[in-house]
Structure 1
Amino acid sequence: MNNKRLCGGMLLLLTAAIWGFAIVAQRVGSQHVGAFTFNGIRFALGSVSLTPLILYYYKIEKNGTCNANDMELSTKKTILPGILVGIVLYIAATLQQIGLAYTTAGKASFITGLYMIFVPIIGVFLKHKIERNSWIGIGVAVVGLYLLSVNKNFSISYGDLLEVIGSIFWAVHILTIDYFSTKDYFSTKIEILKLSCIQFATCSILSLITALIFEQITMSGIFNALIPILYGGLLSVGVAYTLQVAAQKNVKPSHAAIILSMESVFGAIGGALLLGESMSTRGYIGCILILEGILLSQIKISSRVRL
């Protein structure tokens, strides 16, 4: 495992932690404002939070070897990818937030984690090579997620169905980020930040337009959901999604999916610390299996056995 891959894995693990605690914030926020209002404001905050960094790196590159024409071209070539990724993000985030109003955080966490299955499945159609250890790791992690988040009387409700559909779009989002990060779009840090800013802004605009049409926006509701919105906007969006974009340059999509599945573990920890939820022995076993799945995904299994 090289240093870049290890660093990428650690950044994705930090991303999973932020997103895990964000599940708690989103659950609380759904009790006060509509899904589109919540996402519209938090993604707007996420987009704005990147502006100081963009200006900082712009100043550095302006004083460096890049000229104004190169920087203008850099901005233009991130617009279309940013909009495309933002549309996928809008669909995935909408389905997740609406689903949270109709299902429990634990079940939503598990079902959302199914995107790690859809990533390699969709990747096969895109001619991505999936190693055997990734499949084994996925299988072990799925069992762990099931033990952690799903009750014995598991059934598909309206909210669960929305989360299942959303998990497919989260997989598409991961693969879309991977596609653009393997091209020349992300050759500099400022390009990563620009694309992140554009995708957040796209998701925010689409969410707010939808909120104005279908939801009743009140200042009292926004005020009551202010802390979850701030967390969701500044950390879950502004920090975590940018870490995901940067980290996936050095981590395979299937590996990234398994590491990000740790979001369920951190979600359970956040529920215990902030909402007073408890975890059963079955849940702890699930956590262990998820960790084993992550390790298996990083260990290459030889196809030849020497006798």
Structure 2
Amino acid sequence: MNKGVLKSSMLLLITSAIWGFAFVAQRVGMNYVGAFTFNGVRFGLGAFSLLPLIIFYKEKDKNKEKNKSFKSVFLSGLFTGLIVFLASSFQQVGLIGTTAGKAAFITGLYIVFVPIMGMFLKRHIGLNSWIGALIAVVGLYFLCVTSSFFISHSDLLELGSAFFFAVQIILIDIFSKKFDTLKLAFFQFITCSVLSLITAILFESITISGVLQAAIPILYGGIFSVGIAYTLQIVAQKNAEPTHAAIIMSMESVFAAIGGFLVLNEYLSLRAMFGCGLMLAGMIICQVKPREICHAKVEACKKR
């Protein structure tokens, strides 16, 4: 493994850990403020936390082509910001009625959705993707569907969140190779923040005292989950091998379950844990290509 791949893998693992524990912060924060208020403030914080870096690197950036592409990166950030707004809104509202660990595992299905969506971009979908998707769906059944064949409203919202996060990942894969990553992240965050705050003003009661009481979860969600983690995702996806990146990002679900257990005293039933295990297996199988498995076996034989 060369240094570039190792660096990207480490960045993605850090991203997964930050996002996983962010589910805990998101649940705690909603004890004091509404879902859209929480998202509006935290994405705003995330956007402004990037300004010093943007200014610093602008002084060093001598690439005139990047400077000329301001309109393009603005429009790309606006579009991805709209998708992030939909994804984070579904996720945040869904968290009201479910546990942090369960929400994270359902959201993690974006790993399965990404290759399936790739069909519409004329990308080849291997047998492993279909097998992984099937296993993940079975896992989702054990995790979410009760004995009376009922899926809760919150679980459906988290599933919708997974769909929109999959769209965002595909867009970032395209745009991060064309534009300045910090600027792309900034416009993405500020768009999501503005849309969330507008929705909060229309449908929620925003109070200064509520925001102050939720200060710690908002600061974590804004600076770490948004400002740092989303930016690390964009930077890492620019150079990371997609298959390995997706596998590492699926660890977000595991970190969320650990955080929910340690901080919120959340427990999963044996049925739910079995479902989580199947979903995680499906996520990994969906991303590991048969050729890579064969190559790994050959390399292992060479070392013997």
TM-score (norm: length of structure 2): 0.83
Pick which of 205-214 and 130-139 moved more: 130-139
Match of 2:110 in 1: 115
Match of 1:165 in 2: 160
Match of 1:270 in 2: 259
Residue 73, structure 1, aligned to residue 44, structure 2: no
Report if aligned partners of 2:111, 2:250 keep a CA contact under 8 Å in 1. Answer: yes
The offset of 1:262, in angstroms, is 1.3
Distance 1:8 1:289, change over 3 A: farther
Q: Which runs of 5+ in 1 are unaligned?
A: none
Residue 42, structure 1, aligned to residue 37, structure 2: no
1:83-232 paired onto structure 2 within 5 Å: 83-133=78-128, 150=144, 153=147, 155-182=150-177, 185-186=178-179, 191-232=180-221
Distance 1:284 1:114, change over 3 A: closer
The offset of 1:152, in angstroms, is 5.8
Match of 1:243 in 2: 232
> Counterpart amino acid of 1:171?
A
Distance 1:250 1:152, change over 3 A: farther
The offset of 1:218, in angstroms, is 0.6
Distance 1:159 1:286, change over 3 A: closer
d(CA) in 2 for partners of 1:3, 1:282: 41
Q: Secondary structure at the match of 1:249?
A: helix
Q: How far does the alpha carbon of each residue in 1:239-270 deviate from its partner, in whole angstroms, 9 at most, with x for none?
A: 11011111112345565444322111000111
The offset of 1:59, in angstroms, is 1.7
Match of 2:223 in 1: 234
Pick which of 79-88 and 271-280 moved more: 271-280
> Counterpart amino acid of 2:150?
S
Distance 1:282 1:12, change over 3 A: farther
Distance 1:33 1:76, change over 3 A: same
Q: How far does the alpha carbon of each residue in 1:173-217 deviate from its partner, in whole angstroms, 9 at most, with x for none?
A: 1111112134xx23xxxx100100110000001111111111110
> Counterpart amino acid of 1:78?
V
Distance 1:98 1:222, change over 3 A: same
Q: Secondary structure at the match of 2:31?
A: coil
Q: How far does the alpha carbon of each residue in 1:160-181 deviate from its partner, in whole angstroms, 9 at most, with x for none?
A: 1211112111111111111213
**RMSD (Å) for aligned C-alpha atoms:** 3.0
Aligned length: 293
> Counterpart amino acid of 1:42?
R
Q: Secondary structure at the match of 1:128?
A: coil
Distance 1:36 1:221, change over 3 A: same
Distance 1:161 1:137, change over 3 A: closer
Match of 1:259 in 2: 248
Q: Which runs of 5+ in 2 are unaligned?
A: 295-304
Distance 1:210 1:296, change over 3 A: closer
Q: Secondary structure at the match of 1:101?
A: helix
Paired-residue identity, %: 56
d(CA) in 2 for partners of 1:251, 1:143: 29
Distance 1:33 1:75, change over 3 A: same
Report if aligned partners of 1:145, 1:264 keep a CA contact under 8 Å in 2. Answer: no
d(CA) in 1 for partners of 2:277, 2:42: 33
TM-score (norm: length of structure 1): 0.83
The offset of 1:53, in angstroms, is 0.8
Residue 29, structure 1, aligned to residue 29, structure 2: yes
d(CA) in 1 for partners of 2:242, 2:254: 20
Residue 15, structure 1, aligned to residue 10, structure 2: no
Distance 1:10 1:281, change over 3 A: farther
d(CA) in 1 for partners of 2:165, 2:287: 22
d(CA) in 1 for partners of 2:139, 2:10: 20
